[in-house]
A and B are shown apart, each in its own frame.
Chain A
């Protein structure tokens, strides 16, 4: 069976409450799909995702692999940084990309730092 990648536009989840947002993403992952989400979660949402993942660990669900990539900020001048941070606070962080995959399929996601490598779990046929 091939890998299924599900694209989730940021606009689809931005209106959801924290718990709903996490459930929405985890439900996709528990169906053995890999989430490709435009933008990134807020730090507290990432923490909540980890907490909910831990609560859901079972024989079938071993957890998730999670990775976000986002544009480097170090080349931005102060004004642009402030503008960008303000926009993120108001609108959420739409820049970058978040990948969330089931640990039973994704062994490891390596970011180093501008490229992403997905290592899948090898299965016997």
Chain B
């Protein structure tokens, strides 16, 4: 896995749209849902939904940024 990225990849084709933007769009939508859902809730289900929806992008960032290296 790690070797795939150590070479220049100009011979590899560009990724299709969803391959490139799929995760960013999913994480962006999750963030938006989290930000809005807590507005309609006061200590209820909307808050819990917000923690989950906002927590996932945080965990994804932490995992790819640092967690994955530690687990190798």
Indicate whether A and B interact. no
